[in-house]
């Protein structure tokens, strides 16, 4: 059983990988809060293990303080935030082995001469950890394919893959980031939340022009982001499009070309990295 941790700009999440199944564990706003959630989950797992063993007539009762009962086999982290050593030490304590996926990790894999995902050879050392996991996850589902991977969160990232070769990518502002930037950097535009609008209207129902400031913001940012997405997808129509990230679910039905939505793509990538790395 492995612990998978994804620290994003807005949300911190963890999941459990067991028997080729990924189970979502929980999410928080801060790494410190996530440690508490993981600790609670680990205690629950340990208690269930103890109860199971005590219920078996062939097993001696195991004390609840057994140090190995709450250990994961592997702890795998990808983070786009700067996290302190205290967080890393606490996180590593949950597992027998700790892996942090980043550029340094890729370079060590390549230098080792051992098995590792081949796409590492064409990724820059400063490539984002979440994007490393996402492209490896996409290739684990569709090996030797031409893929456009779109991750929609605080930022929107576009990554093109051709087989095990990384072609290139792009970064733009995420939906909420666009709204916040206009509210913070102007004196007259109020700070609205795009999710208030999306709770009332689907992306496809929002007109491309509006009558008041709220409508104008929705047209320029929500519909504008839809046009941006459609533009990239049309430009690279020979690539299979995979979308992930918290905001992707709002847009997939409004796009003209078929796309695949895989919300746990980053976690799938972390599992694939574990499986493909000696």
**Which residues carry out catalysis?**
130
CB 76 within 8 A of CB 5: yes
Q: Count the Cβ atoms, other than its own, within 10 Å of residue 124.
A: 9
* Backbone conformation region of residue 113, classed left if phi is above 0, alpha if psi is from -120 to 50, else beta: left
CB 99 within 8 A of CB 76: yes
Nearest to 8 by CA among 25, 23, 28, 24: 28
> What are the backbone angles phi and psi of residue 82, rounded to the nearest 5°?
-80, 115
Instruction: Measure the CA–CA gap between 245 and 128, rounded to whole angstroms.
Output: 14
Q: Please, which residues have CB within 8 angstroms of residue 55's CB and are 6 or more apart in sequence?
A: none
């Amino acid at each position: 059983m492995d612990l998978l941790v994804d620290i994003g700009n807005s949300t911190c999440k963890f999941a459990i990988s067991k028997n080729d199944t990924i189970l979502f564990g929980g999410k928080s706003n801060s790494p410190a809060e996530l440690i508490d959630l993981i600790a609670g989950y680990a205690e629950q797992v340990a208690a269930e293990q103890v109860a199971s063993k005590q219920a078996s007539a062939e097993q001696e009762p195991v004390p609840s303080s057994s140090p190995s009962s709450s250990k994961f086999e592997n702890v795998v982290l990808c983070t786009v935030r700067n996290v302190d050593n205290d967080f890393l030490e606490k996180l590593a304590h949950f597992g027998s082995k700790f892996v942090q996926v980043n550029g340094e990790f890729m370079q060590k894999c390549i230098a080792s001469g051992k098995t590792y995902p081949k796409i590492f050879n064409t990724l820059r050392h400063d490539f984002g950890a979440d994007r490393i996991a996402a492209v490896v996850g996409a290739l684990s589902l569709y090996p030797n394919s031409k893929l456009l991977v779109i991750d929609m969160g605080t930022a929107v990232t576009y990554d093109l893959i051709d087989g095990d070769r990384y072609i290139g990518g792009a970064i733009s502002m995420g939906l909420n980031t666009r709204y916040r930037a206009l509210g913070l950097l102007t004196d007259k535009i109020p700070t609205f939340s795009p999710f208030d609008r999306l709770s009332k209207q689907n992306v496809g129902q929002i007109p491309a022009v509006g009558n008041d400031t709220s409508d104008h913001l929705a047209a320029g940012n929500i519909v504008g982001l839809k046009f941006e997405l459609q533009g990239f997808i049309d430009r690279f129509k020979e690539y299979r499009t995979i979308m992930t990230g918290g905001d992707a679910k709002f847009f997939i039905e409004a796009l003209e070309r078929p796309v695949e939505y895989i919300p746990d793509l980053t976690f799938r990538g972390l599992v694939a990295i574990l499986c493909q790395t000696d």
